Amino acid sequence: MSTKQHHFPYVIRDLTTDDLDQYNALLRYAFQVTEQELAAAGWRDEEIKQSKFPILERADILGCYDENHLVSQFAVYPIPMNVFGAIYPIGFITSVSTYPEYSGQGIMSRLMYQSLVRMRQKGQSLALLYPYSIPLYRRFGWEIVSDKISYSVKDRQIPSKFQANGYVRRVEWNDPSFMNLHTRFARETHGCLLRNSLAWEEYWRWDEDDTCVAVYFDASDLPQGYMVYLIKEDIMYIKEMIYLHRDAQKGLWKYIHAHDSMIDEVRGNTYRNESIAFEMEDGDIRETIRPYIMGRIVDLDAFLSQYRGVAPGSDCRISFEIEDPILEWNCRKTTLVFQGNQCFLSQEPAPLQVRMSIGTLTTMLLGYKTASQLYWLEHIVGDAEAIRLLDKLFPYRPPYISDYI
């Protein structure tokens, strides 16, 4: 390859708050947010720019410049995540965009690599993103790790027999019983992000003023669940519903049923990777499932040092050959030693061996797919006994990821 082919004519540097106008302009162009759409949502252009100001202050954003013109950007927002009870500092990838005339020049791959290197340096061993192209990110070692299930329930299908010991009250958006409840839920729920102030700002960014928050309180007046919803044109749109136990879930559905004279339909989303139709009296509802979040392990050593997703009582060894298309430190042959509910890396070979990509390893360790499923799909190569053992070590438990920054 000639020197000219190796030449990269652009400059990569950090974005600062001084780059707000160019940052916003690139986002607007890449995602085709029109003035009409902003006006319909009640936003002015200046408000949009100022709303992105905190991301520029708190995120690690790399930009590619053609002279003084921003042509591509890649942001990593730091946020904690519950991974099988261990709280990981992770990076959520956001604001990924490039002007079309600069595509196909390897700019995004450079920004991604440098950003992942920085994540490793900061101790962020796992990265997540909401993909605009699943095939593209798979080429860079990412894999699907969570689903989003959307449902539609007619008014006559809303459960009518649920009884609960507590009660529901509507509260303000900034009510501490509401936000603290999400923190409790996140600390108990595998895959959930622990929302900080900016995550909450992003959560509300495009909601209408008449969006409501309803909290379920138990018989001791303690908050145990909530739902965020909007009623518009005879449809109840449920943005989010969380609950800490079954009684809270029933109490929230009872509250929904109390609106049956006001609405014709309930539409919502769930991120538990399980259908809600079975628990309905009339389960003939419409549900659609789609991939939601992709992830990749950034630093295997650091990720495993915190990992607690191994089935209790484990005591075995398996040799792994890991392939990573862009992060050379993850490409290796190593042995995982399993003890109790933890695993450790060792250089001593083991009789059982498997080979897989870093993306496949990520989706297995996060519980989205089992080893036998991945083996059947030819994502894992290895001994049949090793696959059976991996299924025992890493149970199927898909992560609950409902946010994207």
pLDDT at 274 (0 to 100): 77
Same domain, 246 and 163: yes
Q: At 17, which amino acid appears?
A: T
pLDDT digits (tens, 9 = 90+) for 185-220: 999 999 999 998 888 887 887 677 789 999 999 999
Q: Say which range, 43-52, 83-92, 166-175, 341-350, has the weakest mean pLDDT.
A: 43-52
Quick one: tokens of 239? 């943005």
Q: At 43, which amino acid appears?
A: W
Separation of alpha carbons 115 and 60, rounded Å = 8
Residue at 136 is within a domain:
no
Same domain, 258 and 341: no
HSE-CB for 88 with a 13 A CA cutoff: 31
Residue at 53 is within a domain:
yes
Residue at 143 is within a domain:
no
Separation of alpha carbons 42 and 33, rounded Å = 13
Q: Is the model's pLDDT at 50 over the cut of 50?
A: no
What are the φ and ψ backbone dihedral angles of 398, each rounded to 5 degrees? -60, 140
- End position of a domain, from candidates 80, 101, 129: 129
Q: What is the CATH number of the domain that holds 111?
A: 3.40.630.30
CB 215, CB 181: distance < 8 Å: yes
Q: Is the model's pLDDT at 66 over the cut of 70?
A: yes
- End position of a domain, from candidates 243, 266, 291: 291
Residue at 362 is within a domain:
yes
Same domain, 98 and 197: no
Same domain, 161 and 270: yes
CB 51, CB 206: distance < 8 Å: no
Residue at 137 is within a domain:
no
Same domain, 285 and 308: no
Domain count, the chain: 3
What pTM does this model have? 0.90
Same domain, 267 and 310: no
Same domain, 121 and 196: no
CB 252, CB 168: distance < 8 Å: yes
Quick one: tokens of 293? 């979040």
Same domain, 177 and 117: no
What is the 8-class DSSP label of residue 107?
H
Q: Could you tell me where the DSSP H helices lie in 214-268?
A: 246-257
**Domain that includes residue 372, residue range:** 299-393
Count other Cβ atoms within 10 Å, centred on residue 235: 14
Quick one: tokens of 72? 């591509």
pLDDT digits (tens, 9 = 90+) for 258-276: 999 999 999 999 998 777 8
Helix (H, G, I), strand (E, B) or coil at 266: strand
Q: Is the model's pLDDT at 248 over the cut of 80?
A: yes
Strand spans (E) along 274-379: 286-297, 314-323, 332-340, 342-346, 353-357
pLDDT digits (tens, 9 = 90+) for 69-111: 999 999 999 999 999 999 999 999 988 999 999 999 999 999 9
pLDDT at 35 (0 to 100): 44
Q: What is the CATH number of the domain that holds 326?
A: 3.30.1050.10
Q: At 65, which amino acid appears?
A: Y
Measure Cα distances from 255 to 170, 180, 285, 384 in Å: 11, 21, 19, 50
What is the 8-class DSSP label of residue 352?
S
Same domain, 200 and 107: no
Q: Which residue has the higher pLDDT, 159 or 188?
A: 188
Same domain, 94 and 160: no
Separation of alpha carbons 238 and 252, rounded Å = 11
Same domain, 305 and 286: no
Same domain, 208 and 226: yes
Residue keyed to tokens 């450079």: 110
Percent of the chain with pLDDT over 90: 71
- If we measure between CA atoms, which residue out of 350, 346, 344 comes closest to residue 314? 344
- End position of a domain, from candidates 266, 291, 316: 291
